């Protein structure tokens, strides 16, 4: 009898700790603190990111070419194994420049944003900062060249991106309520980027009759390429299901942070009219 009680006691203690350790925060939701990270960047620097993002875009177009998550920069164009297509095709991207110019321009913009968000992520602090009640945390990263700005106008320009950042952050928080995820606030940013990236690639016929919600499950490789894709719940329209699949294929490789692969290795896409 005693022994039983003892075992029971230890088991309870064990289970209690086990639960406490493993239950994610979402069971005990923390207060959401809106952090607005401010990054001090020289105006030149801002321009640079924009420019560098441009050539990279063409790769995404080239189907399966694996991509090094958000900080690719120095890579030129070369060695990219295309999915199944013949190798000859690989040289052609230049030709495509004209017809896809608009798209590139659009996607360039996004890349820009992506990189901003990505750059401020890597340092581990945000998680801690969340607990503080401060409305603003001034996080200074980007140690490379935080050179002072000479031209005051340029300085203003350099600051202007903060507005974008704010808008993006608030957009993230809006989206958060509908997103049933177990990721923390830091990862919301990456999710928002991912969401936008897929939505932009998803040509959905407007005004069609809504039948059922659509749920698509993706398994992602470490380099962001697609490992598998499965329709978990069909929308009732094969055309719609296919259009989302096409979007994912077009969007691949997906911009997932390499250091958080475990969080992003499996993604569910949900459309509810």
Partner 1 sequence: MTGYKMFKKLQFVALLTCLVASIQTAQAAVRINLTDPNADPLPTAIVPFDGESADEQNVGMQIRDVIANNLQNTGLFNVLDPKAHLQSRQSMRTSGILFNEWRLINAQAVMTGHIVILGMGTATPKAQVEFKLYDPYAERDILAKSYTADLRFWRHIGHRISDDIYTQLTGEGGYFTSRIVHIAEESKNGKKLKKLCVMDQDGGNYQCLTDGSHLVLTPRFNPNVQKIVYMSYANGFPRLYLLDLPTGKQEIVGDFEGLNSSPRFSPDGKTLVMTLTKGHAGNPEVYSMDIETKKLKRLTFNRGIDTSPSFSPDGKKIVFNSNRGGKPALYIMDADGNRVRRLTYGQGRHYAPVWSPRGDLIAFVKEYEGRFSINVIDPEGEETRQLTESFLDESPTWSPNGRVIIFSRQMGDSTKLYTIDLTGYNERQLKTPMDASDPAWSPLLK
Residues 51-70, interacting with partner 1 (CB under 8 A):
61-63
Please answer whether residues 111 and 56 qualify as being in contact, where contact means their C-beta atoms are separated by less than 8 angstroms.
yes
State the nearest-atom distance from the C-beta of 235 to partner 1, in Å: 9
Of 178, 221, 225, 213, the closest CA to residue 66 belongs to 225
Read off the tokens for 110: 């996004």
When binding is defined by CB under 8 A, the residue of 53, 69, 189, 198 that contacts partner 1 is 198
Q: Give yes or no for residue 258 binding partner 1 (CB under 8 A).
A: no
- Cα distance between residue 230 and residue 10, in whole Å: 43
Q: Which residue has the tokens 């075992």?
A: 7
The window from 8-16, 46-54, 72-80, 124-132 that contacts partner 1 (CB under 8 A) reads 8-16
State the nearest-atom distance from the C-beta of 224 to partner 1, in Å: 14
State the nearest-atom distance from the C-beta of 150 to partner 1, in Å: 40
When binding is defined by CB under 8 A, the residue of 8, 140, 147, 170 that contacts partner 1 is 8
* Contacts of 113 by beta carbon, 8 Å cutoff, 6+ apart: 164, 168, 193
- Which parts of 116-155 interact with partner 1 (CB under 8 A)? none
State the nearest-atom distance from the C-beta of 230 to partner 1, in Å: 11
Of 181, 170, 178, the closest CA to residue 260 belongs to 181
Q: Give yes or no for residue 4 binding partner 1 (CB under 8 A).
A: yes
When binding is defined by CB under 8 A, the residue of 200, 221, 233, 234 that contacts partner 1 is 200
Q: Give yes or no for residue 98 binding partner 1 (CB under 8 A).
A: yes
Q: Give yes or no for residue 13 binding partner 1 (CB under 8 A).
A: no
Of 44, 54, 42, the closest CA to residue 112 belongs to 54
Please answer whether residues 252 and 224 qualify as being in contact, where contact means their C-beta atoms are separated by less than 8 angstroms.
yes
Q: Give yes or no for residue 207 binding partner 1 (CB under 8 A).
A: yes
Cβ closest to partner 1, residue 185 vs residue 269: 269
When binding is defined by CB under 8 A, the residue of 99, 124, 148, 152 that contacts partner 1 is 99
Within a 10 A sphere around the Cβ of 109, how many other Cβ atoms?
A: 13
* Contacts of 63 by beta carbon, 8 Å cutoff, 6+ apart: 82, 83, 85, 249, 252
Cβ closest to partner 1, residue 10 vs residue 134: 10
Q: Give yes or no for residue 206 binding partner 1 (CB under 8 A).
A: yes
Read off the tokens for 29: 């939701």
- Cα distance between residue 105 and residue 40, in whole Å: 25
The window from 21-29, 37-45, 114-122, 141-149 that contacts partner 1 (CB under 8 A) reads 21-29
Q: Give yes or no for residue 199 binding partner 1 (CB under 8 A).
A: yes
Q: Would you call 216 exposed, middle or buried from its count of C-beta atoms within 10 A (0-12, 13-18, 19+)? A: buried
Binding mask 214-253 for partner 1 (x = CB under 8 A): ---x-------------------xxxx-xxxxxx-xx---
């Amino acid at each position: 009898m005693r022994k039983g009680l003892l075992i029971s006691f230890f088991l309870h203690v064990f289970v209690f700790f086990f639960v406490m350790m493993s239950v994610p925060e979402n069971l005990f939701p923390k207060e959401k603190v809106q952090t607005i990270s401010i990054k001090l960047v020289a105006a030149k620097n801002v321009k640079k990111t924009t420019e560098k993002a441009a050539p990279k875009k063409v790769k995404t177009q080239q189907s399966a070419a694996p991509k090094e998550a958000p900080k690719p920069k120095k890579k030129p164009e070369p060695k990219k194994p295309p999915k199944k297509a013949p190798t000859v095709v690989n040289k052609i991207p230049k030709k495509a420049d004209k017809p896809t110019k608009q798209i590139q321009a659009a996607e360039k913009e996004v890349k820009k944003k992506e990189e901003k968000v990505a750059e401020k992520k890597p340092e581990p602090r945000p998680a801690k900062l969340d607990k503080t009640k401060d409305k603003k945390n001034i996080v200074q990263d980007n140690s490379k060249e935080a050179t002072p700005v000479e031209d005051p106008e340029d300085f203003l320009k350099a600051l202007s991106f903060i507005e974008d950042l704010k808008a993006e952050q608030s957009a993230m928080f809006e989206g958060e309520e509908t997103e049933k995820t177990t990721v923390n606030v830091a990862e919301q940013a990456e999710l928002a980027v991912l969401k936008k990236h897929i939505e932009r690639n998803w040509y959905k016929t407007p005004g069609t009759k809504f039948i059922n919600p659509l749920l698509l499950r993706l398994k992602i490789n470490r380099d962001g390429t697609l490992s598998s894709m499965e329709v978990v719940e069909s929308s009732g329209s094969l055309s719609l299901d296919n259009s989302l699949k096409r979007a994912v294929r077009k969007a691949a490789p997906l911009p997932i942070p390499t250091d958080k692969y475990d969080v992003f290795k499996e993604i569910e896409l949900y459309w509810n009219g």
